[in-house]
């Protein structure tokens, strides 16, 4: 429900749209879209939650939406409604996301996993990206350089999803564990199991570790407001070893 969406400007020009989401209808992972106002005046958005009235009103105030992004194989459900609302925007998604989305009429302008590894989509002056082809969900990590913010979907969680459940009667607590934050051992093992190509994962995880960032905005769980570089290195310590 739109009334459950938490909208805030995390830092200058970076907005999050957080809402409840339960994986398999049981596990409170939370969901989040993230929008960035680029130096050109356009808006780049990771479209991982519904385009509610409040979401659209906020995006429209930021500027023209020019890029609609699906960050991995499973965050694709809302591409159609974003594209319908912003027909001039370019849709950039992973090959697996497009396959799972299954709508042949959706115009896609760029495909991670199909395009050249050094492809440019037009937002790279503000946002760098790395495609994790060795990861099960084929995630893409993004760096908003101006705010030193890492934006990602399933490469790192920070649960419980307190912000995403803050407008509900639920605490968003994670079953079995008090948390599944970057410093929990299970988190490291879980992500390690999703690394289908360890060599490729080490290469890409190291490339992210080399980026200059302090904040992490995940799709699932609370924003890591500071200390994000250390959190990333801790989650991927075995892969990076």
Distance in angstroms (rounded) separating the CA atoms of residues 17 and 25: 20
Peptide bond into 52 cis (omega under 30): no
Q: How high is the pLDDT of residue 1?
A: 44
What tokens were used for 225? 């407001």
Gap between the Cα atoms of 89 and 42, Å rounded: 10
Domain that holds residue 127: 2-114+121-240
Structural domains in the chain (count) = 1
Q: What is the mean pLDDT of the chain?
A: 92
* pLDDT tens by residue, the chain, 241 residues: 447 999 999 999 999 999 987 775 567 788 999 999 999 999 999 999 999 999 999 999 999 999 999 999 999 999 999 999 999 999 999 999 999 998 999 999 999 999 999 999 999 999 999 999 999 999 999 999 999 999 999 999 998 889 999 998 776 676 666 677 888 888 778 887 899 999 999 999 999 999 999 999 999 999 999 999 999 999 999 999 8
Q: What is the domain-level CATH number for residue 143? A: 3.60.15.10
């Amino acid at each position: 429900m739109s009334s459950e969406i938490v909208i805030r400007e995390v830092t200058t020009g970076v907005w999050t749209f957080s809402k409840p989401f339960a994986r398999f209808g049981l596990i409170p992972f939370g969901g989040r879209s993230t929008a960035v106002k680029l130096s050109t005046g356009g808006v780049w958005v990771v479209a991982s939650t519904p385009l509610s009235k409040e979401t659209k009103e906020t995006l429209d105030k930021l500027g023209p939406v020019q890029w609609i992004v699906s960050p991995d194989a499973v965050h694709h459900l809302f591409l159609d409604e974003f594209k319908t609302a912003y027909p001039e925007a370019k849709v950039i998604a992973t090959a697996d996301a497009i396959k799972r989305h299954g709508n042949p009429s959706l115009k896609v302008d760029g495909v991670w996993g199909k395009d050249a590894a050094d492809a440019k989509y037009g937002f790279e002056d503000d946002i760098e990206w790395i495609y994790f082809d060795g990861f099960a969900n084929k995630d893409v990590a993004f760096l908003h350089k101006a705010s030193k913010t890492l934006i990602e979907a399933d490469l790192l969680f920070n649960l419980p999803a307190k912000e995403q459940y803050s407008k509900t009667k639920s605490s968003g607590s994670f079953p079995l564990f008090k948390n599944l934050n970057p410093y929990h051992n299970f988190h490291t093992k879980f992500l390690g199991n999703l690394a289908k190509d360890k060599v490729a994962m080490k290469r890409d995880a190291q490339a992210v570790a080399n980026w200059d960032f302090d904040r992490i905005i995940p799709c699932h769980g609370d924003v890591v407001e500071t200390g994000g570089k250390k959190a990333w290195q801790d989650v991927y310590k075995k892969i990076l070893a």
